[in-house]
Chains A and B, each alone.
Chain A
């Protein structure tokens, strides 16, 4: 059974239909890529699934539960982690605080516990810190754990975002253009990290990506989105050779 399915999702802003009749199905452990030219609506699809916008029409089902129209934090706590294309870190916080905060939905000590510092609070926060430190170590950030994020280099900030998303213990991880602005060196590094995360945590991953090298290497399935509609889906090889994709996507690449 599929872990995450999206059926017939449509959304428009004002009069403009940004996403039309979108379908998606991700099985446990699968890596699916979403490619397409700029402005095709890829990030909108992320925002629709993760609850930042409520879709006009269609259904999103995560692990058997209909999550359509839930608020983003509810969807996140049900096991959907994401990163953002334009890094969205909390600029005054340290790396450790970032990752610990994403454990928010696992805490049940309540406001009362926060005010009075009950033993339950200390216990739960210690557990959250332990988990956070594991993830930080996994992403190679241990030496930066107590640094404020804005002081970190770009590549490290990307990894902080990923560690933060992983702290949700997601079933599906959404990565929105994880390689934007990276050097080829950092690119290899991030591929290795994604592979490792995938292998060790057994996650399903859904990636928006521009770089073909990246999706070819990682993804098992690909979708190509143009003007809010999927024009092709299949294995990386199939997509690569699909004339429609070449016209819409690679053609643009050539011009650029």
Chain B
């Protein structure tokens, strides 16, 4: 036990020492370094891959290729080192003073300006990274949708402490509402006939379609929010589960949206910038909500409802808002999902989807925006990276999740707030200004 403790301390010390060159690198510096790496990959990646004996650029930092063709591992490692690790380390280290100065200057303006600059850089890096292949592009978009779903479910399951199983249902409502809107207006297909509006309008009306999806989902949420006034915990879990089955079964029986065969020919509107913008908006709005007093009222309802009421918190309003708000974003995510895949069918929104979203929420951490992002990105990337293992992936990931639950029952990063200002602040080296 003591030896283990010693080893742990030693490891921590080593990590701290290894990290020390980067202690002064602010978020801006890391984004710059990421941008540098992906640009390098864009220009030199293919040539380097061929030089290292790889058939093409490793799609997911070499995970997939390493699992598929183990003899390519050395080449993959070299690629990752040359393209990602080395340039990122160099840029992060040597751009730090500049990045710190820039961060400080940006923070003099309103926080939103600094946030937008960071987001633009993040988008640029992701865009360049995704340009390399369609696979990356679609994985990235689905990951961002997973972030939205996870975060919105966290509002109910984490922040409000109910066990809601209704998210696939909300998502289905959003997906179908948005799809009916866009397919009906902009596509010529067998269900809705010819397009009613010119397709040039579609990108402008797409946010409206998403909002419609969100609104339909939050109307559906009323079916759960109202019983939640009287019922809590287990019975609410069943009500929400029944809701998911009802929505799924309802759509299966609606022939005009395609019934069990599903609905296709959605116009290609959920492009990377679109998904990124909506996802960023979702994270921002949800973060705003959960850090406000009205949002923290959900925590009070979770921890002690009687005390919440006695302290003048309107618990019905709080529950209603949380359910409808969460459902809204699940609906928007569903709308995006339908337009990324450009096909939906009711079978998508069943138990499997539920297990997936729940896994992401509880893996990442309850009651934490950052946790949800980590959970969604972590499970999504893991799911892709382990793809070569085929079905054994579905033994490995559940096992990992069981371990996380045993050692961190509320998830990896639970009950932690996300302070935008601190994230965007310049970082001074620990020994003071140099």
Query: Is A bound to B?
Result: yes
Which A residues are within 8 Å of any B CB, using their own CB? 50-52, 71-73, 76-77, 82, 84, 88-93, 97, 100-105, 107, 109-111, 113-117, 121, 125, 128, 164-165, 167-168
How far, in whole Å, are A168 and B321 apart by their CA atoms in the complex? 23
Assess the B307–A88 pair: CB atoms within 8 A: yes
CB distance from A81 to the nearest CB of B (A): 8
Assess the A97–B294 pair: CB atoms within 8 A: no
Stretch from B47-55, B72-80, B308-316 at the A interface = B308-316
How far, in whole Å, are A100 and B291 apart by their CA atoms in the complex? 12
Assess the A101–B306 pair: CB atoms within 8 A: no
Assess the B304–A89 pair: CB atoms within 8 A: yes
A-B contact count (CB 8 A): 105
Assess the A107–B294 pair: CB atoms within 8 A: yes
Residues of A within 8 A of B306 (CB): 52, 72, 84, 88
Residue of A nearest to B320 (CB): A111
Assess the B292–A104 pair: CB atoms within 8 A: no
A77 touches which one: B307, B308, B312 (CB < 8 A)? B312
Residue of B nearest to A110 (CB): B294
How far, in whole Å, are A168 and B150 apart by their CA atoms in the complex? 35
Given A104-B314, A114-B289: 13 more A-B contacts, CB < 8 Å: A90-B303, A90-B304, A100-B296, A101-B293, A101-B300, A102-B312, A104-B293, A107-B294, A111-B294, A114-B292, A116-B285, A121-B292, A164-B311
Residue of A nearest to B367 (CB): A92
Give 7 CB contacts A-B under 8 Å.
Answer: A51-B309, A72-B309, A89-B303, A90-B307, A101-B293, A105-B312, A111-B325
How far, in whole Å, are A113 and B310 apart by their CA atoms in the complex? 24
- Chain B interface helix/strand/loop/mixed: helix
**With A76-B312, A115-B289 in contact, do A104 and B304 touch (Cβ < 8 Å)?**
no
How far, in whole Å, are A100 and B297 apart by their CA atoms in the complex? 10
CB distance from A48 to the nearest CB of B (A): 13
Closest 5 CB pairs of A and B: A90-B303, A72-B309, A88-B307, A76-B312, A105-B312
Q: Which of B298-335 contact A (CB under 8 A)?
A: 299-300, 302-304, 306-315, 321, 325
A84 touches which one: B302, B307, B321, B325 (CB < 8 A)? B307
How far, in whole Å, are A72 and B315 apart by their CA atoms in the complex? 10
Residue of A nearest to B317 (CB): A111
A92 touches which one: B293, B303, B307, B310 (CB < 8 A)? B303
The residue in B300, B306, B415 that gathers the most chain A C-beta atoms within 10 A of its C-beta is: B300
B288: CB under 8 A from chain A? Answer: yes
Residues of B within 8 A of A93 (CB): 296, 299-300, 303
Residues of B within 8 A of A73 (CB): 308-315
CB distance from B160 to the nearest CB of A (A): 12
Residues of A within 8 A of B367 (CB): 92
B295: CB under 8 A from chain A? Answer: yes
How far, in whole Å, are A50 and B297 apart by their CA atoms in the complex? 19
Interface string of B147-162 (1 = CB under 8 A from A): 0000000000000000
How far, in whole Å, are A114 and B325 apart by their CA atoms in the complex? 11
Assess the B304–A125 pair: CB atoms within 8 A: no
Assess the B293–A111 pair: CB atoms within 8 A: no
